[in-house]
Copies of this chain bind each other. A is one copy, B any other.
Amino acid sequence: MKKIGMFGYGTVGRGFFGLMQRNGDVVSKNAGVELEVCRVFARREFPGDPVEPFLTHRVEDLWEDDSIDIIVEVLAGVEPAYQWTKQALLAGKSVVTSNKAVVAAHGAELISIARQKGVSYLFEGSVGGAIPVLRTVTHGLISDHISEIWGILNGTTNYILTEMKDKGAAFDDVLKEAQRRGYAEADPTADVEGHDACRKLAILSSLAFGAMANYEEIHTEGISAITKEDIAYGKAMGCDIKLLASAKRTETGISALVAPSFVPKNHPLAAVQGVMNAVFIKGDMSGETMYYGPGAGEFPTASAVASDIVAAATGVETYPGLAVEDHLVVLPRQKRKTKVFYRILVSDVEEAKKTCNEVLDVVQFVALEGVAGEIGVISGAQEEGVLGEKTNLLSKGKGIRQILSRIRMEE
């Protein structure tokens, strides 16, 4: 019998508690050991909720209770989750979390403490929702030199982009609807500005490439500036817009980016709709593999947490392949080449096209039916380092009034 404590009883917490109530027998059977939630810390009361008999408002109860083996940390944000996790690990408890903010900011230290104390610190629930992608990287593709990972790591933004495309609606309207339906938080910044995807990419990169990636060094752009006109241009070009996260290992470091990008409709990632996530992984032994599933939701995330609980209950795991003292060099993006779409407000179409041809390696001009006074233009691959410069040149060029959008394109 292993006893489980919980820090927090929010969405994922309720999901995990509910999962153990409904499927606790399945978890115990597959683990080969009895598992039971015995104590839950939360600040407020939950009258009538099945968690009631297990509640405590004194957080120390969790690490002071010698009978507790594993603590599930399902709080939001770095503090106090980080401090409490540290306390729990130092008290010899294994900790399992879905809190990507803590892992991205303090993962190296917490893993080190877990290793010193001979307990587990695991965070499958922090990346990819229900998809067991961390376990795949650390246990499935264990013999690979992984060279590249890329995909869609944030369900909220993918839901918003899917709705904008399907309904031709504006970002703000879809965001409000998403908030109303619980798919986006009251403060949506972390999701819509790409910070959440960036943290997940850093965590995944660390495990895939074997050393710590600092999320603050990964260039990140969100989707809040994407307009319904951009989506319409996408339709005209046979493309959808997705918030892509990618990291590639080179001899000198990793090239990583989180940014919205046009992907062709026949691209496998274009098929990833709503809150779904998908991750491609390229290794020298396994080749190219892909993992797809719900990227959010109380039960999908809880199922990832449960898989770590079993790992912590049946052994000690702290990602042995990850050198927490080593840091991955995140390469500056200047030399990274990318194809780019510009949406341009023009004073004179022919003059504007002439300017585009002078400044860019124009692949194609795109027009929206019934829309005058602007043009779309696709530029061939250019270095990220000259992107800003070219955009600046364009905006001052003849026939051009304003650059309305600048969005990368996948090939």
A359 contacts the other chain (CB 8 A)? no
List, in ascending order, chain B residues with CB within 8 A of A132's CB. Answer: 136, 139-141
Interface-lining segment among A5-13, A26-34, A158-166, A345-353: A26-34
Contact with A285, one of B131, B292, B300, B321 (Cβ below 8 angstroms): B300
**Beta-carbon contacts of A302-324 to B below 8 Å, as 1s and 0s?**
11101100110011000011000
A289 to B292, CA, bound (A): 5
Contact with A142, one of B30, B291, B292 (Cβ below 8 angstroms): B30
List, in ascending order, chain B residues with CB within 8 A of A291's CB. Answer: 289-292
List, in ascending order, chain B residues with CB within 8 A of A131's CB. Answer: 140, 289
A287, B310: Cβ atoms under 8 Å?
no
A297 contacts the other chain (CB 8 A)? yes
CB within 8 Å for A307 and B140 given contacts A130-B289, A289-B130:
yes
A143 contacts the other chain (CB 8 A)? yes
**Beta-carbon contacts of A1-22 to B below 8 Å, as 1s and 0s?**
0000000000000000001001
A271 to B290, CA, bound (A): 12
A139 to B312, CA, bound (A): 12
List, in ascending order, chain B residues with CB within 8 A of A283's CB. Answer: 303
List, in ascending order, chain B residues with CB within 8 A of A29's CB. Answer: 210, 320-321
B294, A142: Cβ atoms under 8 Å?
no
CB within 8 Å for A320 and B30 given contacts A135-B139, A139-B132, A286-B293:
yes
B287, A293: Cβ atoms under 8 Å?
yes
A130, B287: Cβ atoms under 8 Å?
yes
Which single residue of chain B is at the shortest CB-CB distance from A280?
Answer: B292
Contact with A143, one of B268, B297, B306 (Cβ below 8 angstroms): B306
